[in-house]
Amino acid sequence: MRVKSDVLRRIAGTELDKLFPDTAPRARDDLITAVVRQWITSAGHAGIFTVARNYWLHFEEFPDERFQVHAEVTTPDGLGQLLRNHLAQEDDVPRILRQLTLRQAVVFDNEDAIAFKIRVRPELRRFEIEPADPEE
């Protein structure tokens, strides 16, 4: 990616203001950082996850220094089902989703006190879950 991170932050801020216009400044800054990090490490793809929706942002850069951001809003059916299948505690789901947005991976204990690690691959719009390493 050739665009500088400060420019990416401004672009991400503009896109986030469209999707979440009333976000508190601290939360907005955290989301901007997460989106830019994902764009840089996931070939221009990023995801933001809430209980009601998944927001996928694709930053596309053109050779003539133009860019475009595509935003797609989807229902979190697959993610929700994955968490239910692994017995995620219902009251822990918002925290899991926020951490998944901010860090792209999160460890959680399910209803049976078994630790799992879920991660997102934004470039594939896919979630992966596995037993967590006891050291995590």
Q: pLDDT tens digit string along 63-121? A: 888 899 999 999 878 898 999 999 999 999 999 999 999 999 999 999 999 999 999 99
- Residue 132: phi and psi, rounded to 5, are -80, 145
Contact between residue 56 and residue 72 where contact means Cβ atoms under 8 Å apart: yes
DSSP state of 36: H
For residues 58 and 45, the answer to whether their CB atoms sit within 8 Å is: yes
Supply the pTM of this predicted model: 0.90
48 in Cβ contact with 103 (< 8 Å):
no
Does the structure show a pLDDT above 70 at 1? no
* Alpha-carbon radius of gyration of the chain: 16
Q: What is the DSSP letter of 113?
A: S
Confidence (pLDDT) at 77: 84
Q: How far apart are the first and last CA of the chain?
A: 31
